[in-house]
Structure formats: C-alpha cells, structure tokens
Amino acid sequence: MNPPITRFAPSPTGHLHIGGARTALFCAAYARGRNGRFVLRIEDTDQKRSSDAAAAGILDDLAWLGICWDDGPEALGCGGDPRGVGPFYQSQRRALYDDCFQTLLEAELAYPAFDSPEQLLARRKEAEKRKQTFIYRQSENYDHAEALERARSEPHVLRFKMPSEPITVHDEILGEVTFAYEELDDLVIRKRDGFPTYHFAVVVDDEAMGVTHVVRGQEHLNNTPRHVALMQALGYRVPRFAHLPLIFNPDGSKMSKRDKDKAVRVAVRAAGNITGADAGVDEEVFARWMKDKTVQLPQENLLVLSKKLGVDLPEIDVEDFRRAGYLPEAVVNTIALLGWNPGEKDEQGRDIERFDRAYLDRHFSFDRVGKSASKFDRDKLRAFNFDRIKAMPAAEFVSRWRQWCSRYDSDLLTKLDEQAMLMLAPAIQQRAATLAEAKGPVSFLFMDTGSIEYDEKAVRKHVLKGDPTGLELLREFADVLHRVDPFEPGTIESALASFCEAREIKMGRLAQPIRVALTGGAVSPPLGITCASLGRELVLSRVERCLAELSKH
C-alpha cells in the first residue's frame, strides 16, 4: 500500500476546538507512523464567518501542540508545498471548483435552482406539517437548457442531482453504513455568491490533494454519502473514511463551545445586576444572548464577565487549555486517549496511559478507536500535567513558565526575573499542577507588607504558644537576619539551623513564626528561598510589622 495522505480541514470561524485538535492529532499520527503525509487545508468558503485571524489562531494552536503539517500553509516551521497541490486556502482555489462545476453541468449531473429562501422555507414548513423531512429534488418537468439560459441573468444556486440508489459508506471505525436515496437530497454545491459549499470543495480538494484517508468527527457521518455520490459523479477515487467518536463532558453532554456561554450565563443570572456594559457589549446583544442559548458572545467579552463574576470558564478550545496553563504534551496525551487507547500493558500489568507523541505515532491505528462517545477527563489531564511539571528540570520549567507569562501574565515578568524564578522553581514545581497556578505558591512576594493578614489559626498555633513563644523567638532571630551575609538561601538556612541548635529547639518552632510574618500563613517554599527571594529589607520590615501587630495579643 502507498503511504497514506491524511488531512485536517478546519473552517476558520473561531478558535480550534479540542475535538478538532484530536482529529488533527490522529490524522498526523496515522500519517507519521506510516511514512505518509499530513495535509492542512483551511476551509474558508463561508466568507461571512471566516477570518484570517481565526485561521492564524488555528495554525498557532496546532504548532503549539506539536502537530506539524507536511503540506499546507507555510508558517511556524510547518507546511510548504513540495507536491504542488496547493494553495491550501479554499478561497484561493475557486478556478478549480469552477472547472468541476462545469463538468457536472455539462453532464447534467448538476443544475441551476432558482428557489428563493422564502420559497424553500415554505416548502420545509409544509413538510414539517406532514411530519416529513424536506428533501429537495429536481422538479419533474425541469428543462436543463432553459434553466442554463435563465441562470445567465437570475440569481441561483447549483444543486447536485443525487443518483437514485442507496449509498454505502465503508468506515474504518464504524464498518459499513448504508444510506437510502430517500434520505439524500439534491444538495447545493454552489451558493448564490458563487462560492462552493463545504460539500463540494471538500470532495474536489481531497481528490486534488491525493487524500487517501478522510478522518473526521462522527458529526460528519451524514455528509459522507453525499460526498461519495459527488466523488462518483466526478469520476474520482473514493478514499477511506474514519469517523471519530464524539467528545462528551463528564456529565454526558456534548463538549461544546457553548458551554462557556452557559457557565457565564448561569453566573450572570445569579448575580442579578449585570448589564451589557459590564461585558463590553451592546445591551441589545446582551439581552439576546441571555435569552437564546444558541447565541454566543465573543471570547473576550466572556472572559471579562467571567473575571468579574469569579467563574471559571470550562476549557473547550485549545486556547482555553493554553490559558489555563496546561502543557501541550499533557494535552496531547489526554486527547489521544479520547476514543483510542494503545491496548498495551506496562511491566506491572497496568494499561499504558502515559506516552509521548513518538509513541502515539508508532502505535496509532483505527482498529483501536471506539465507536461510542468518550468523556473528556479533566482530572486525568491535571494529573498528567502535574507529573510533567514535577519531573521537569528547573531551567526548563522556568523557560516554559516565562513563555506562558509572556502570553497571559506579562505583569509577572516585570516582578520576577529569571534568576528569582529559578530559585523558586523547585518549590513551585511540587505544588503547581498548571503554569497558571505557579504564581500561587509565591503570591507572598507580591503582598503589600502593610496589609498582610495573619491567619488566626496559624498565629494561635505557631506564634503565641510555647515557652519561649514563637513571637519571642522571632524577635531574637530578627537580629540574626540583620547579620546574615550574603543574604542567600544557603546562608539563611545555616543561620536558622545554628540558631535552633543553640536555643535547643526544633526547626519548626522558629520556621513557622517566620512564615507567618512573611506570608500571613504557615505554608511557603523552604525558608532560605522564601527569605532570599523577598530580600533582606522586605523580610525585616515584615518581621517588624508582625512583631508590632501580634505583640498586642
């Protein structure tokens, strides 16, 4: 068998959905594991809904995930056109589609149709009344020559004449699926604006680009018999198909972009006093969005609202997972397990679940893809991510944390330089499951000394109790802190150790009151690091304030 050619063909109408990322991943893995090629094609024939920004975002998300395309837009170190099958934006391929329309028109396998949207709607409603699905067919007395003449001056679409026979799709995952002629209408292949419909362009391009395996989500299964009919009419070969199972939320609902709107809408309702102005949108748009659950707000407005209301947006798009601080390799590992598993055991007899891209490329095949929907497991993703963060060399962690910050929290880069991050990294890596959480364990650095609130329980337990009390120990140790030189983790730790040894106390008796003074609570990275990263001046002023505040008790 010749090496396979797979393709991922997103419509650039928004961010890359996590399900799309899984499709792209499986396409890339299948091709890579068999010395084949993986094509990326941008399906921008819906001029109203497509945008260059969305296309660029999709390329960027794919590259971030490490899903590089062989043939396709040349960007981010991926793509190119060594086989000469481009361009890869459908809006630039119209001449090819026009030729193919002509072929079908001449063979009378396609025909102009002049129905207005209102007429079509009326017929659809009529069918609904009779509890039937509206199936468009060419009228019996249709005159092709006359229609061609009329088409010169009248707005029209082109429809494909569906052959009157059942069509069987052979699917690598689902097996044989047969569709009756009665279910398949004479679909539109060219819109009024002259652009091809998705169905037409996809068929022409898959042929022209030599695609051997069409891999896409099960939501496209009903489109496939239409595509097969078109392929046959155009005299094309029929590629292999593999329809991937849907992806559900843990509660069994479909994992949809609208979930984000839903989460925010619930919070808006609960808050009661939110208006369009709070979201940065028109009141009218806002009212429509509140009423109609099929309406979506732009991502940036959702983010503004979610921040204001303190709700976490569910992660749905690749961008959401990036923002939430997940590592691409953890995301890839998690989505690879959506509907597929390697079916291999480790030495202890457990299912192999943790693997990298190279492993996936070697092992991926359609016979291990399931038919039924799979649930997205956020806990698993979190665990995968945390494990990877913990295992990373500190320098790598810092470099990736800084990359994340430059995209989502550039302010932090002005507050923490690379050196400081490197010092803090090992402590953070033990506690942050995501890059977004990395700030948490070091939030004490950014507190305003004058407004640190001391945790009551920690104060009672560590500062006020004992003989001598923690407070007294803290006062004595403040003197030592003045003298430690240089003010570095190692020297600070030894000063702590010799102080405790001389006073014959356990380290915790001194360390905990210091923590309370510096952070307000009893948890912080190792004290040498905590103190050194704050710097002597801040440490002393926080200790001083703590002594003053808590002596009042």
Catalytic residue among 191, 257, 380, 461: 257
Q: Which is nearer to ligand GLU, 220 or 545 (CB)?
A: 220
Q: Please state whether the peptide bond connecting residue 87 to the residue before it is cis, i.e. omega within 30 degrees of 0.
A: yes
Task: Choose among 235, 120, 89: nearest CA to 188.
Answer: 120
Q: How far is CA 223 from the centre of its chain?
A: 25
Rg value, the chain, Cα: 31
CB of 148 to ligand GLU, least distance (A): 30
User: In sequence order, what are the beta bridge partners of 343?
Assistant: none
CB of 31 to ligand GLU, least distance (A): 15
Task: Choose among 227, 189, 184: nearest CA to 105.
Answer: 189
Q: Which is nearer to ligand GLU, 19 or 441 (CB)?
A: 19
In a 10 Å sphere around its CB, with 0-12 CB exposed, 13-18 middle and 19+ buried, how is residue 44 labelled?
A: buried
Q: Which is nearer to ligand GLU, 199 or 363 (CB)?
A: 199
Angle of CA points 300, 59, 8, to nearest 5°: 115
CB of 96 to ligand GLU, least distance (A): 17
From the CB of residue 500, how many other CB atoms can be counted at a distance below 10 Å?
Answer: 18
257 catalytic residue (yes or no):
yes
Q: Which is nearer to ligand GLU, 11 or 333 (CB)?
A: 11
Which residues sit at the interface with ligand GLU, rule CB under 6 A? 9-11, 43, 198, 202, 216, 220
Task: Choose among 165, 198, 189: nearest CA to 112.
Answer: 189
CA distances 405 to 56, 197, 278, 283, 396, Å, are 21, 41, 26, 34, 14
CB of 423 to ligand GLU, least distance (A): 46
Residues in the chain, how many?
553
CB of 383 to ligand GLU, least distance (A): 31
Q: Which is nearer to ligand GLU, 22 or 400 (CB)?
A: 22
The Cα–Cα gap between 532 and 442 comes to: 12
Q: Which is nearer to ligand GLU, 217 or 280 (CB)?
A: 217
Sign of CA dihedral 217, 220, 225, 230: negative
Q: Which is nearer to ligand GLU, 218 or 385 (CB)?
A: 218
Q: Any alpha helices (H) in 66-178, and if so which ranges? A: 94-106, 117-129, 144-151
User: In sequence order, what are the beta bridge partners of 89?
Assistant: 42
CB of 10 to ligand GLU, least distance (A): 5
DSSP 445: G
From the CB of residue 234, how many other CB atoms can be counted at a distance below 10 Å?
Answer: 17
CB of 205 to ligand GLU, least distance (A): 9
Catalytically active residues, by annotation: 257
